[in-house]
Amino acid sequence: MLHYIKPYRYYAVLTIVFMVSEVLIDLYQPRLMEAIVNEGVLGLHHGGVPDLSLVMQTGLWMALIVAIGGVCGVMGGVCVNFCAQNFGNDIRKDCFRRILQLSMEQIDAFRTGSLITRITSDTTQVQTMVSAALRGVVRSLTFLIAGTAALLTLDIHFSLIAALAVPVILIEVALVVHKSNPLFLLVQQKIDALNGVMQEDIQGARVIKGYGQEARENERFGVANDDLAAAQLRVLLLIACLLPLVNIVMNTALVAVIYIGSFDVQSAMIGPGTVMAALTYVVLILNGILMFAMILQIFARGLTSKRRLEEVLETKPAIRDDGEDGETDGAVSRGRPTAIALHHVSFRYPGQQEDVLTDISLTVARGETLAIVGATGSGKSTLLALLPRFYDATAGEVFVDGRDVRTYALHALRGKMAIVLQKTELFSMTIGENIAWGMDAASDEEIRRAAKIAQAADFIERQPEGYGTEVTEGGTSLSGGQRQRIALARALIRKPEILLLDDSTSALDLRTESAFYAALDGYTRELRREGHDLTKIIVAQRIATARHADRIAVLDGGRLLACGTHEELLERSSIYREICASQFRAGASGKEKANG
């Protein structure tokens, strides 16, 4: 991830310069204090006569360099934060960009809760690690190296004390880091699990309330939260053991400095101020080591998060986007009679043993409307998902406008299509913005026209602020039918060549659904007069919806059993007759109950 630092390398260098300057100034002050005590107060080299002018001058000089050190510290903080924040910002953007590029099975493999943790918590940990590396490591190492050199200028005995204390502290630190390092991965995994539970419960709040399962979900969240707290407690207990151990070594070193220094003072080898300076240096050096120990903890956690982020950033999308934007030789988009063709297509989901689709061969002419019917689990939605390459076929080929879909750039392929799913996704923005979401720029007139075709105009205009009415997260402020109609308008405003409707009118009543398809037919005829064909593939549960299509494809168990008009299928497809009969019986039963 070092390449993320490169754009901000000058700020990183400035951080190091400012940090080293600040530490050197801190290390210079004990020498000034030594001069004040030995010469200014005790007058060791002036017959025991204090030199108050020296105290005054040195004190002013100390105040000046403290101010300079403060400026260096502030500037170092500004530079390191600018560098670290932008570093984290870039990683977060790249992670999110990569997640959007991943195929559906890859997103499922990572799990949504884990991806959220990686973009938020893991990025913050890596960002903190960079900040600690630029600021804390520089400070602690400078204290160790420069502080040891300063001790050598005072008395060799003091340096020996530091030389003995430092390895002991480093051994303590190494043991704690070794024990805690694997626990950081466990903590992040527990955060993943907690985020997963929270996401599921917040999204499913209505179901939880409807079934009265608040206590059950509170218990499930409590278990996940307890697991996280237990993992974090294990880490914190290890870290808590480190500080007392380091303090024992530090205080032992200070006692040794005072003890040895007292003999040197008695023999007049050094003055009391020198002992004070030595004590300060030893404290600074050992505090620097302690700081380094804390940084190693940050590094251990940051490196764990770094590996988790790299798993996302280095994952190659299973759906490769290395096709071409333009047309291949001889493949003229508008001129081909066939819009979609499937040749012996089979598909199975990753990790599954059985095919969901088996040996499907099917063509859809440009401007044709094809309905797909079949029992639940027959592969209708999966077949639709292969066209925009949400998944790639396990075997066989899928063609759009005479080209294998794998030869398209994804944005070019999906730019030809608009898809409306049964589960409608709306965003936290206005109704008008949700409709125009699929276009770079849409006029108010285009938004209203799309809403009118989708039978959404009436209810939108009854909203408090019309098209400017805010939609709550997930569209929960609207009914299921209202959400579906907004989604239909969002698809139509794109003016696609191919419209894919995956049971996208299931929440509409029969009259509204009929009005929508009538308006859609009128819109299709209008486009044809303008020289454009709209190809439609409709996954339908209702025969009343499917029977008006040009052709109907019947799927059963992942196989294409028949394809033809409503009348043709009634004659030659027993499965289709059974579906029609079951819906007719259900409809007749409903009418009897209503009349009764």
Average pLDDT, the chain: 82
The mean pLDDT of 272-284, rounded to a whole number, is: 76
Q: Rounded to whole angstroms, what are the CA distances from 560 to 216, 228, 322, 381? A: 43, 49, 31, 14
**Is the separation of the CB atoms in 95 and 313 below 8 Å?**
yes
Which of 85-99, 276-290, 515-529 comes out lowest in average pLDDT? 276-290
The mean pLDDT of 372-401, rounded to a whole number, is: 90
Which amino acid, one-letter code, is at 498? I
Task: Determine the length of the chain.
Answer: 596
Which residue did the predictor score with more confidence, 4 or 151? 4
| Residue 328 scores a pLDDT above 50 | no
pLDDT for 334 equals: 44
pLDDT for 201 equals: 79
Confidence of residue 159 (pLDDT cuts 50, 70, 90): low
pLDDT for 371 equals: 94
Q: Which residues face 430 on adjacent strands?
A: 470
Which range among 231-240, 345-354, 585-594 has the greatest average pLDDT?
Answer: 345-354
Helices (H) and strands (E) in the chain, counts: 20, 10
pLDDT digits (tens, 9 = 90+) for 463-495: 888 999 988 877 777 888 899 999 999 999 988
Which of 194-208, 343-357, 446-460, 507-521 comes out lowest in average pLDDT? 194-208
State the DSSP code for 408. Answer: B
pLDDT for 174 equals: 75
The mean pLDDT of 97-122, rounded to a whole number, is: 83
Which residue did the predictor score with more confidence, 229 or 589? 229
DSSP 444-503: HHHHHHHHHHTT-HHHHHTSTTGGGPBPPGGGTTS-HHHHHHHHHHHHHTT--SEEEEES
| Residue 70 scores a pLDDT above 60 | yes
| Residue 29 scores a pLDDT above 50 | yes
| Residue 592 scores a pLDDT above 80 | no
**Is the separation of the CB atoms in 388 and 319 below 8 Å?**
no
The H-assigned helical ranges of 267-409 are 272-313, 380-386
Confidence of residue 329 (pLDDT cuts 50, 70, 90): very low
Which residue did the predictor score with more confidence, 43 or 54? 54
Backbone φ/ψ region at 427: left (φ over 0), alpha (ψ -120 to 50), beta: beta
pLDDT for 593 equals: 47
pLDDT for 332 equals: 39
Give dist(CA 39, CA 37) in Å, integer: 6
